[in-house]
Amino acid sequence: MAIGDTEAFAIIQKARAAHPVQMPELKARALMGSAQGRRLIASLLRDMEGRYTVSLYDKLLSLCAWFFEYIYEPVYQADPSLLYAKNLHRFVAMYSYLWMTDDESQAQIMIEQFQRYMRSRDPADAPFLFNNSRPPLTRHGSEHPFESVLRFAYGFRDIIIADNANLGKTLPEAGRWTLDLSTSAL
């Protein structure tokens, strides 16, 4: 059974009154950092017992999946079924994840630039993706496999940029929540 908005608001207000915290929006990371916040969470869970589901997300892995969606999908949008049938989306997401969790990689730069680009839709915000004809990832004389992903983004940048530029027109709130996990969390 779902909890209606009125009941949910009442449960939250009751928990906030019993366990006051100074934050307009309840965020688990902040709440878990204090005993008062943990008591507030416990109160909410008790009052909703049997009527909630917990979903855990690895935000970096999710970002890697978005990377496929907004870099590869625009190029193959006319017929992406082959990509999905062969699980290329999973391969790119997992390979991206492996590269991004490698302490010796330049992944942090790419992640930050990709996020800025998806918010602004300005390719100048992601030079690592769109201005590298030969990405500088090679170590020890062998090509790093993620270089092919970056070369793909560089090689098809005009198509990718043109397609992603339309997100602001086709998505609610001008695509403000493009990389958000809320939709999949619902």
Whole-prediction pTM: 0.67
- Write out pLDDT tens, residues 142-183: 666 677 778 888 899 999 999 988 887 766 565 566 777 665
Structure tokens at 73: 């999908």
Give pLDDT tens digits for 96-127: 888 888 877 777 788 888 889 988 889 999 99
CB count in 10 Å sphere of residue 124: 11
CB 94 within 8 A of CB 64: yes
> Residue 114 to residues 27, 51, 52, 126, 147: CA-CA distances in angstroms?
25, 37, 33, 6, 15
Determine contact, residues 128/100, Cβ cutoff 8 Å: no
